[in-house]
């Protein structure tokens, strides 16, 4: 059975999720903020990161990416085409407006598309990917077993933010409808602590 450990990051209380399975030495992440608590958990459980899935390219969900790939050079980064561009641009990921501008240095990004899926653990259901733009053009929602990772496209009890650059209110509404259908019977793991 897949377990999920969550970390609340120091910037805007964004979330990082660690997916792992008892008895296996591999883990997968959803978003990456503060690297220290991630490394601490991984070391405690003797886990190595195989890949990280990015829900979108805003700074508060990606700022630990360079440190993560430095610690785990074989780690792959899975995300949408738009987010691939955003992590390489401090303007698109909006880190230019923070104390520390962020630009991803790696060349290990794998673009995933709506409706695709991949197996993370043997004998477990695959992770499926759904493009859910609106909050950001690159928003990606992921479903695996009884879990759905919604990033900032849907945070229960919080209206989806569409006032940021490149946001789209109509697309956000369409994505919300899609997410709510996918979320039926699943645990919702959103992009921020609520």
Q: Which CATH number goes with the domain that contains 139?
A: 3.60.15.10
pLDDT value for 45: 96
85-135 pLDDT, tens digit per residue, is 999 999 999 999 888 899 998 999 999 999 999 999 999 999 999 999 999
Tell me the DSSP string of 46-90.
Answer: T-EEEEEE-S---GGGTTTHHHHHHH-TT-EEEE-HHHHHHHT-T
Q: Distance (Å, rounded) from C-alpha 59 to C-alpha 95?
A: 5
Percent above pLDDT 90 for the chain: 95
49-96 pLDDT, tens digit per residue, is 999 999 999 999 999 999 999 999 999 999 999 999 999 999 999 999
pLDDT value for 194: 84
> Among candidates 187, 193, 179, 158, which has minimal Cα distance to 16?
193
pTM above 0.85, yes or no: yes
- Domain span at 77: 2-190
Query: What is the rounded end-to-end Cα distance, in angstroms, of the chain?
Result: 26
Q: Distance (Å, rounded) from C-alpha 96 to C-alpha 8?
A: 22
Q: How many domains are there within the chain?
A: 1
């Amino acid at each position: 059975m897949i377990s999920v450990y969550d970390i609340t990051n120091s910037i805007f209380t964004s979330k990082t999720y660690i997916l792992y399975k008892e008895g296996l030495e591999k883990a997968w992440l959803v978003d990456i903020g503060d690297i220290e608590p991630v490394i601490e958990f991984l070391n405690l459980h003797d886990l190595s990161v195989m890949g990280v899935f990015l829900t979108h390219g805003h700074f508060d969900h990606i700022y630990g990416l360079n440190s993560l790939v430095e610690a785990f050079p074989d780690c792959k980064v899975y995300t949408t085409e738009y987010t691939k561009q955003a992590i390489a641009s401090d303007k698109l990921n909006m880190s230019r407006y923070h104390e520390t501008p962020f630009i991803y240095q790696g060349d290990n990004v794998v673009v995933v598309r709506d409706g695709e899926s991949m197996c993370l653990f043997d004998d477990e259901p695959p992770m499926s990917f759904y493009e859910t733009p609106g909050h950001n053009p690159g928003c990606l929602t992921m479903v695996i077993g009884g879990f759905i990772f919604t990033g900032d496209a849907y945070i229960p009890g919080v209206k989806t933010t569409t006032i940021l650059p490149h946001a789209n209110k109509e697309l956000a509404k369409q994505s919300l409808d899609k997410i709510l259908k996918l979320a039926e019977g699943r645990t919702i793991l959103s992009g921020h602590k609520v």
